[in-house]
Amino acid sequence: MSVLSRFLTCLALFLLLPISAFAADWDGQPNRYRVRIDAQATRAEVEADLWQQSDMLSMYGVMVVPGLANGQASLVEGMRVSDASGTSLALKDQGGGDFGIRGGQRIHLSYSVRLEHDHYSWPAGMEEVAYHTDEGLMTTGATLFFADGDAPVQAPIEVEFELPRGWHANTPWTRIGTGERYRVASRRELLSNALFLGTAMSETFDAGGVELTLVLGKRYRKSAPLFVDLLRSQLASYAELFGGPPLSKRYLIVINENASGDGGAFASSFSQFIQGDADERNRVIWGYVMAHELLHFWNGLSIVPTDYREEWFKEGATDYLTIATLARNGWLGGELLSKRLENVPRRYLIARYAQGLGMSVRESSKDKQPNRQLVYGGGSLAALALDVALRERSGDKVGLPDFMKVLYTEFARPGKTYSLHDLERIARDLTGSDFSGFFAEAVGSESYFDIRPSYAALGLRMDSFVEEMFISREPQATPAQRARFEAIFGRNLE
Ligand SMILES: [Zn+2]
């Protein structure tokens, strides 16, 4: 922050003082939400008893889509708010799910949410918003709840569900007693989580100190042992890779059927779609999405970039380390590993030449969904090249896993974020070599990044013709190149 903007911030805070000086302090009572779902799951009736600190009441994560001018907030009806004495309070609809309100008081809020989210096309997919199955409803906290749009009040949060007969709630929150009541650790945990309300099968198991609950749509019940095997082995690899557990101790995974096969990660949960059955043959797809989302519990949710410009590292390092750990754990054999390694430069090539995306990889995340081939493809290429460069410049003493451990030790704490400068510093500290030129070329430049030298340094040969890419083990590879390959992807991959 510059001196001038610091001054302007101070000035703005000073000008705001006379208004907020009237705002009372938190009354010490919890914030409670009560959600009733009707038998057909067409509506969620929400009643909330909240301490409102700021002058803004908000629905978070609102995405405007065709047909919904205010995104998810357009599906909210009958919003009524009153003070502690029952007197109606004025709400000023400011659009985008934001409502102006007088802060510094306890409010009682009621509204209903039309559960029609699956009728609309969401940029990241409905698995990140809400959808129905014949066994219930997947929804997220942000889809259901309003919260203070500014000040994060430290009031304890409780959520209670009233559900159709035979349904139960699956959440990553802490259950209170035996009913459907939960304690929620923070506003982020309230809003940034997937929930499944319904009759679907669930299975809870412990792996490496993390309690995982899997909620499986009917079609996937028989695949539960496959999921559990993969999740256990990946979780153990990630704890070793980062040198510790993720920030949350309890996670929820919701799996249902949908052709998109996509997934989305939240604070303590992820929501995944699988196309058709889940078996050993298509594990290369569903296992990859699952392993990628699971890795985000560390890289992305425990270790958080300062802004969109390092989204490439969040997605790219996650993709690359997903490939490496799946190979090490035996989930990707030699042939599938080659295909995965061919897909990475292909995504980048599609972004640069078929889509004509000319911006740098760092800038591409400003508009992540349309540019996802560049974010993920360019990001994974850069992560692979970073791993190789760390090894080459340190005489193979350090690699990306050591880099991730330092990042985890320094940044895996609430509120702390990393920037490109931090990535450069950590690489320099680990190797004694300046990485600013490396990052400028790999992710800061608008020109084409050539991955072939990095692959060659791993004893891999990439033959390509336009969009055709073939990766194979180079028979002439030096012992050092072979050793580097095995250090990353494991043995027995000939
Ligand atoms: Zn991701």
**How far is the centre of ligand 1, averaged over its atoms, from the C-alpha of 347 (Å)?**
15
Provide the residue type at 383 as one letter.
A
**How far is the centre of ligand 1, averaged over its atoms, from the C-alpha of 253 (Å)?**
15
**How far is the centre of ligand 1, averaged over its atoms, from the C-alpha of 316 (Å)?**
8
Sign of CA dihedral 279, 285, 290, 295: positive
**How far is the centre of ligand 1, averaged over its atoms, from the C-alpha of 229 (Å)?**
21
**How far is the centre of ligand 1, averaged over its atoms, from the C-alpha of 311 (Å)?**
9
Flag whether the pTM goes above 0.95. no
**How far is the centre of ligand 1, averaged over its atoms, from the C-alpha of 371 (Å)?**
14
Q: One digit per residue, pLDDT tens: the chain, 494 residues? A: 444 454 444 444 444 444 444 568 899 999 999 999 999 999 999 999 999 999 999 999 999 999 999 999 999 999 999 999 999 999 999 999 999 999 999 999 999 999 999 999 999 899 999 999 999 999 999 999 999 999 777 899 999 999 999 999 999 999 999 899 999 999 999 999 999 999 999 999 988 678 999 999 999 999 999 999 999 999 999 999 999 988 888 999 999 999 999 888 899 999 999 999 999 999 999 999 999 999 999 999 899 999 999 999 999 999 999 999 999 999 998 899 999 999 999 999 999 999 999 999 999 999 998 999 999 999 999 999 999 999 999 999 999 999 999 999 999 998 899 999 999 999 999 999 999 999 999 999 999 999 999 999 999 999 988 778 899 999 999 999 999 999 999 986 65
* Tokens encoding 16: 């705001």
**How far is the centre of ligand 1, averaged over its atoms, from the C-alpha of 368 (Å)?**
11
Q: Which residue pairs from 186-191 have beta carbons closer than 8 angstroms and sit at least 24 positions apart in sequence?
A: 186/152, 186/157, 187/147, 187/148, 187/152, 187/157, 188/267, 189/141, 189/157, 189/267, 189/268, 190/33, 190/141, 190/145, 190/147, 190/157, 190/159, 191/60, 191/61, 191/140, 191/141, 191/142, 191/145, 191/147
**How far is the centre of ligand 1, averaged over its atoms, from the C-alpha of 121 (Å)?**
19
**How far is the centre of ligand 1, averaged over its atoms, from the C-alpha of 251 (Å)?**
16
The DSSP code for 367 is G
**How far is the centre of ligand 1, averaged over its atoms, from the C-alpha of 239 (Å)?**
18
End-to-end CA distance of the chain: 52
**How far is the centre of ligand 1, averaged over its atoms, from the C-alpha of 376 (Å)?**
8
**How far is the centre of ligand 1, averaged over its atoms, from the C-alpha of 290 (Å)?**
10
**How far is the centre of ligand 1, averaged over its atoms, from the C-alpha of 340 (Å)?**
16
Q: What is the CA radius of gyration of the chain?
A: 24
**How far is the centre of ligand 1, averaged over its atoms, from the C-alpha of 292 (Å)?**
6
**How far is the centre of ligand 1, averaged over its atoms, from the C-alpha of 293 (Å)?**
6
What whole-number distance in Å separates Cα of residue 485 and Cα of residue 454?
Answer: 11
**How far is the centre of ligand 1, averaged over its atoms, from the C-alpha of 68 (Å)?**
26
**Cα 116 versus chain centre, distance:** 23
Q: Please, which residues have CB within 8 angstroms of residue 378's CB and are 6 or more apart in sequence?
A: 312, 316, 348, 351, 361, 364, 443, 449
Sign of CA dihedral 305, 310, 313, 316: positive
Cβ atoms of 378 and 312 within 8 Å: the answer is yes
Strand-pairing partners, residue 205, are: 212
Q: What is the set of domains in the chain, with CATH numbers? A: 304-489 (1.10.390.10)
3-state class (DSSP) for residue 66: coil
Confidence (pLDDT) at 493? 61
**How far is the centre of ligand 1, averaged over its atoms, from the C-alpha of 266 (Å)?**
10
**How far is the centre of ligand 1, averaged over its atoms, from the C-alpha of 315 (Å)?**
5
